[in-house]
Amino acid sequence: RILEETVLVRMRLSEGARAIDDPEEFSSYASEILVKEGDGPFRAPSPEDLEELELERMFLSSPEDSLRVSMDREDVDTPAGSFTCEKEQITKREEREVSLGGVEAVRVESEKTILWLSSDIPFWGLVRSRIERESSTALKGGSGFRREPRRSVTESVLISFSRSSD
């Protein structure tokens, strides 16, 4: 990791967030969002910051073209405690033709997600997640031109939780 390129986001979600059906809904259940860039302090993000962060991309879609594999159970330590978790990996790869100013090319996007889930955690059971996205574009016809792949990594870690008193 490069500290200057690292952005941390903390979100406090209200109990009603369990009913989220669409990633676009989550902001109405976020009672607090804080952002920290590099080694700076946590601060409230501006509307422009929120738009740039695309927080709705944190929520996984369940496309039929994804491969979901259960992995070995794993013990995970977080600021919220230690948990024995079910571990799952979800991978997806998509290729599509694009036009770059009239030149035909192929865009390749891939995504690998690893989830650590525990039944001890209310809500989604999410203890930790890691989403690695990569996209690249290459000209068709083997011209050799290939744009440097763009990569991003999004990690989520449970900091704390409480059980509601139903």
* pLDDT tens digit sequence for 73-125: 999 999 999 999 999 999 999 988 888 778 888 889 999 999 999 988 876 78
Q: What angle do CA 132, 120, 10 make, to 5 degrees?
A: 45
Residue 150 Ramachandran class (φ > 0 left, ψ -120 to 50 alpha, else beta): beta
Whether the pTM exceeds 0.75: the reply is no
pLDDT digits (tens, 9 = 90+) for 18-40: 666 666 777 777 788 898 888 89
Give residue 31's pLDDT: 81
Percent with pLDDT over 70 in the chain: 81
Max mean pLDDT range (20-29, 57-66, 135-144):
135-144
Give residue 130's pLDDT: 92
